[in-house]
Amino acid sequence: MDAAPSHRTDNTQSGTPLLELSNITKEFPGCLANDQISFRIMPGEVHALLGENGAGKSTLVKIIYGVLKADEGRIAWLGKDVSIAGPSSARHMGIGMVFQHFSLFDSLTVLENIALAATDERDRTKLRDKVLEVSHSYGLPLDPDRHVHSLSVGERQRIEIVRCLLQNPKLLILDEPTSVLTPQEVERLFETLRQLAAEGCAILYISHKLEEVKALCETATILRGGKVVADCDPRVETARSMAEMMIGEKLQAPNRAGRDGESIHRLVVSHLSLQSEDQFGTDLDDVSFSVSSGEILGIAGIAGNGQTELMAVLTGESVVPDNMDAIVIDEQPIAHKGPKTRRSLGAAFVPEERNGHGAVPSMPLTENALLTAFRRMGLVRRGIIDGGKTRDFAEDIISQFDVRTSGSGSDAGSLSGGNLQKFVVGREIIQRPNVLVICQPTWGVDAGAASAIHQALLDLAANGAAVLVISQDLDEIFAICDRVAVISEGRLSDTRGIKSVTVDEIGLLMGGLHDLAGSDGTGQDAPALAEAGHD
Amino acid sequence: MDIFVQIVLTVITASTPLLFAASGELITEKSGVLNLGVEGMMLIGAITGFAVAISTGSATLAIFAAAIAGAAAAFIFGFLTLSLLANQVATGLALTIFGVGISALVGAAFVGVALEPLPKLAIPGISTLPVIGPIVFGQDIMVYGSFVLIAAIYWFLKHSHWGLVVRAVGESHDSAHALGYPVIAIRYMATIFGGAMCGLGGAYLSLAYTPMWAENMTAGRGWIALALVVFATWRPGRLLLGAYMFGGITILQLHAQGAGINVPSQFMSMLPYLATILVLVLISRDKVRIRLNAPNCIGQAFRPAH
């Protein structure tokens, strides 16, 4: 992939900036989300906004798009100070935004979805012509009459982009646009974005995928803890140097305790295939792997490639009635059994969604602690809840995992996401499971809590448990896992030792290449490598 | 022939109040608000319309007053649920209880007072035609109004921009908010419109169907209207069908009972409920279509993140 298209004029250093932010500050209760942020975007510039989760990227973008109001600071648009009252005035000024979680209406048609955003054109027939024209000229094929719920994620993103383009934006904001796309879709998106930039539309590109930023963007502003920590040219930086600017320290693996003793296969999955129950889900196709005691296996992959289905079939929420040997926990075939049997064999699970799946938001922490632990921790005697013991258990979790709460009697829903995650993870780890399956262990969790959770997982493995981590976060996988496999379109790659693979190789696998280069697997298809859009 | 005309005329009068109330509730629910206070709002509309008609003698004023009273009751509901984020189900039930009580209180003075029924629009020459004359050209203004209303709602939801916005708000209030639409204001308007239509439905009962006031005279029609909206899968055409089926079978079974058919009257009274629900469930059992028409955010409070 070229660093920058040659036909674009370099207009980033002269003239009036399209958008200039000065000292933008936004405070939420207990959190300074944006602290004196300043940067500028020139017309036609592709500008990256980088930062970890919680660095303040989303808040800043919402301020630019008028969804949130800044407490302090100035926004200048084409050299004039402006106050952006709301998304519709932002759109009037010429700011378009493609959201990370699409703001589409499933039960409406493509055309209706576009009509809702394109406030200038009320005549549906004319609007349809315009949509077809834009989708044709930017290579974004769309059928205006399809209902959104029947479209793929990539097609949905096209709707969002087309409806921004209809308003002839001067600035297009994209929030994590590629996290749900296949590599081919990413490449097509980048072509569209380059065409737009060449026509003079500035692009603010928010991502934490550094290779993509290198390929697409010509300037980058890096945020950490709500502050601008660096401005750089991604074309000359390396992914590693930008990552270090993002996290503010050298990248290093957490230290792992040495493990000894005999290693036994605790969780074995062999030839597991499963039709997804969800019409728009991913079918699992012949998935095999095993996790031994003392080991952490990571399963990487872009969301929506079968992780949800894999998680459900591992926890027992979906069962495989006709192939009980597909999942074996401590030599017991249990693929046909539900969660109760699996938990009584010493398995524990932490689902991705903590509110409503991992915990009941409207119930106090004590009762939430009881829900998964009552058998293993003996919290129920002859059908009667042992109140004192349950409370002690909940308070154990709270103190050992540093859960910030007013007490074990507070509702799970009153905890912040990170704190609830610590509670849910702690609840399972304290039970000393033989097998722990955990999905997105540090999703939306701040760095301190994330490292605490990572350390707890390492300690659990060091004590002889088999740990399976399903995560989209490659940094996390490289930090704690011993071996890694990649799930893509419901199929799982070969498992490889973490020391023998690079982030790039994993990245390629995530893009749908099913065997690593150099592995003794069944070889690889070279064209996919080019399509994956890497150098 | 006369008996046929007679039956059709009573079917129309029995169906019209349902059609008004259900159309209003359809719009309310499409915007994502579940107002279970239909029965209460109908009663408030019924007593207001009746009281105004008695005291001023003007049917026009009575109709307007009933709509305004229904709208006002819906506004209270809106204020509680949309601004103060009270639970919609509980608030709706409370509104029904409130409507029963206040209409009985105000109506105490009007029990036993007789009223001229709403005048039929007589078009000279045409409305004296046999059969078609009285049925098509001899109705009162509210019957015509109810047909105009259902057609307007169909057009509004399907073809107008603001109808699309109402559907969008009911489908995903967060997305609609992100696009810059005033979710709360739109829900207020839809709720108030729903209240006004329930008021009209109630007024039709006390001004035209049985031109008098009796305590709790809606007799559960508000709940039927609510059920019709759901079983019609939020589609105006099916709502019209459902309302007329219900009204039609209600009248037919009365005539059947009158004719001395030897079936226990309780069974006959069940018939309209059973038949209407059965037919609507059968014609609307396509899961995808239900998913497409049902407002996704119904009953959920919206709290913009600021």
**Is there a contact between A88 and B180 if contact means CB atoms under 8 Å apart?**
yes
Residue A463 buriedness (CB in 10 A; 0-12 / 13-18 / 19+): middle
Per-residue model confidence (pLDDT) at position B253? 87
**Residues A149, B171: C-beta atoms closer than 8 Å:** no
* pLDDT the model gives residue A521: 37
Q: Is B299 left (phi over 0), alpha (psi -120 to 50) or beta?
A: left
Give the pLDDT confidence of A372-401 residue by residue, as tens digits: 888 888 888 888 998 899 999 999 999 988
- Digit-coded pLDDT (tens) for A250-264: 654 455 655 555 678
Distance from CA of A52 to the nearest CA of B (A): 22
Please say if the pLDDT value at position A206 is more than 70: yes
Interface test with A, best of B159, B164, B234, B298 (most A CBs within 10 A): B164
Q: Do B17 and B250 contact (CB within 8 A), yes or no?
A: no
The answer to whether B176 contacts A115, with C-beta atoms less than 8 Å apart, is: no
Q: Residue ranges per domain, chain B? A: 15-222
CB within 8 Å: A91 and B180 = yes
pLDDT of A356 reads 75
Give residue-wise pLDDT tens across range B178-193: 788 899 999 999 999 9
Mean pLDDT score across all residues of chain B: 90
Buried b (16+ CB within 10 A) or exposed e, A388-404: ebbbebbbbbbeebebe
Q: Do B292 and A66 touch (CB under 8 A)?
A: no
Helix spans in A402-445 (H): 417-430
Interface residues of chain A, partner chain B, Cβ below 8 Å: 66-69, 86-88, 91, 99, 102-108, 112, 115-117, 122, 124, 147, 149
Domains of chain A: 1-94+169-251 (3.40.50.300), 108-163 (no CATH), 254-346+433-535 (3.40.50.300), 357-432 (no CATH)
The amino acid sitting at B130 is P
Residue A488 phi, psi (nearest 5):
-150, 125
Tell how strand A46-50 and strand A219-224 pair up: parallel
Q: Identify which of A99, A106, A107 has the shortest CB distance to residue B178.
A: A99
B167 reaches A (C-beta below 8 A): yes
Q: What is the pLDDT of residues A319-372, one digit of tens each?
A: 888 888 899 998 889 889 889 889 888 999 998 878 778 888 889 999 999 988
Which tens digits make up the pLDDT trace of B253-285?
888 888 878 888 888 888 888 888 888 788 777
ipTM: 0.81
Nearest chain B CA: its distance from A319 CA (Å): 25
pLDDT at A519: 40
Q: What's the angle, vertex CA A339, arms to CA A338 and CA A342, rounded to 5?
A: 95
Look at A122 and B176 and tell me if their CB atoms are within 8 Å: no
User: pTM, whole model, 2 decimals?
Assistant: 0.69
Q: Which residues in chain A are closer than 8 Å to B180, comparing Cβ atoms?
A: 66, 86-88, 91
Which runs of E-coded beta strand occur in A29-84? 31-41, 46-50, 72-77, 80-82
Q: Which of A273-282, A307-316, A456-465, B74-83 has the highest mean pLDDT?
A: B74-83
| pLDDT tens string A140-160 | 888 888 888 777 667 788 888
